[in-house]
């Protein structure tokens, strides 16, 4: 059931088929903590004959499709463990990057498996706009030379973004394989809708920040969001017969004004 305009439906079918066939993650050894899930995802693309190019260690996204202008960024989540948010190093999540539509693959797997083969317990494949709908911001690393008593030290401003995962943003995703798309997109007939999701833009935007090296004080600069209250609508899908009885719905996610947090001791 090939779709010439997008790879996401065929890719999702391959993922579910692999789960049904008990195709497990295989890590090289117990110290392999980074690429085992990404290799599992890569195998699903290959099995579906979905042609792709794989970037280097720090490239974005992890897989760029060839026949369609899409890409997939992969995030493995060990469970139990940190599954409600993830670190995005030097790249803000978005649904569009460098002319491509970007999707994120979040897969959960056992944190302490008994062997080097173990299942993907649940998975969410979502459009990047579900995480962040801003397409304008362009990340750049900067540096300042002249720091220190001799003036020959460099400070690197290498930003890391901490982003909620779909498992934190929506309820009833656990123990299933789900696809989250913008509401206007309609998958093929073998997909079943399982819930409508709405994300609302915040009243304010952080547009800058200042850090005082003398006091270690961090001060954000805020402006009113011209799109405050704008709704971005999404729909969750599963393959027919895999939907389950519970509707996927938005979770209660804390929002509010920008807060400066002390990372050293967890105090705000």
Query: Is residue 256 domain-resident?
Result: no
Per the structure, the complete domain to which residue 42 belongs is given by: 8-200+233-250
Q: Residue 31's pLDDT is what?
A: 63
| pTM (two decimals) | 0.92
Query: Is residue 237 domain-resident?
Result: yes
How many domains in the chain? 1
Which of 179, 164, 188, 192 lies closest to 234, judged by CA? Answer: 179
Query: Is residue 133 domain-resident?
Result: yes
Q: Average pLDDT of 10-35?
A: 88
Query: Is residue 265 domain-resident?
Result: no
Percent over 90 (pLDDT), the chain:
79
| Contact assessment for residue 127 and residue 183, using Cβ atoms and an 8 Å cutoff | no
Query: Is residue 113 domain-resident?
Result: yes
Q: Residue 180's pLDDT is what?
A: 98
Q: What is the pLDDT of residues 74-99, one digit of tens each?
A: 999 999 999 999 999 878 999 999 99
Query: Is residue 222 domain-resident?
Result: no
Q: Average pLDDT of 29-38?
A: 76
User: Where are any strands of DSSP class E within the chain?
Assistant: 25-26, 52-54, 63-65, 70-79, 85-89, 96-97, 100-110, 117-118, 122-127, 142-147, 153-157, 160-164, 170-171, 177-182, 191-200, 204-212, 217-224, 231-239, 249-250
- In Å, how far from its chain's centre is CA 184? 20
φ/ψ of 39, rounded to 5, equals -65, -35
Neighbours of 208 (CB within 10 A): 9
> What is the β-pairing status of strands 85-89 and 96-97?
unpaired
Instruction: For the chain, give the longest Cα–Cα distance.
Output: 68
Query: Is residue 152 domain-resident?
Result: yes
Q: Average pLDDT of 145-153?
A: 94
Looking at per-residue confidence, does 91 or 31 come out higher?
91
Query: Is residue 116 domain-resident?
Result: yes
Token couple for 170: 């929506």
Q: Residue 16's pLDDT is what?
A: 97
C-alpha 170/C-alpha 159 separation (Å) is 27
């Amino acid at each position: 059931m090939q779709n010439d305009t997008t790879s996401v439906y065929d890719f999702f079918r391959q993922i579910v088929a692999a789960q049904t066939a008990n195709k497990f993650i295989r890590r090289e050894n117990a110290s392999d903590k980074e690429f085992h899930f990404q290799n599992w995802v890569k195998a699903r693309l290959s099995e579906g004959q979905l042609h792709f190019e794989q970037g280097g260690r720090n490239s974005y996204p992890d897989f760029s499709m060839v026949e369609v202008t899409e890409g997939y960024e992969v995030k493995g989540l060990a469970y139990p463990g940190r599954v409600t948010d993830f670190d995005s190093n030097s790249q803000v999540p978005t649904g569009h990057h460098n002319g491509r539509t970007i999707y994120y693959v979040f897969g959960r797997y056992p944190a302490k498996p008994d062997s080097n083969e173990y299942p993907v317990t649940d998975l969410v494949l979502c459009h990047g706009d579900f995480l962040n709908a801003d397409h304008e911001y362009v990340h750049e690393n900067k540096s300042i030379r002249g720091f220190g008593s001799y003036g020959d030290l460099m400070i690197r401003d290498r930003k890391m973004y901490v982003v909620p995962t779909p498992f934190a943003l929506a309820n009833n995703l656990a123990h299933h394989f789900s696809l989250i798309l913008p509401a206007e997109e309609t998958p093929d007939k073998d997909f079943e809708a399982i819930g409508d999701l709405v994300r609302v833009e915040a009243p304010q935007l952080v547009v800058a920040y200042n850090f005082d090296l003398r006091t270690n004080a961090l001060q954000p600069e805020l402006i009113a969001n011209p799109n405050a209250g704008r709704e971005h609508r999404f729909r969750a899908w599963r393959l027919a017969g895999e939907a389950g009885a519970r509707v996927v719905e938005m979770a209660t996610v804390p929002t509010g004004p920008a807060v400066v947090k002390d990372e050293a001791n967890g105090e705000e």
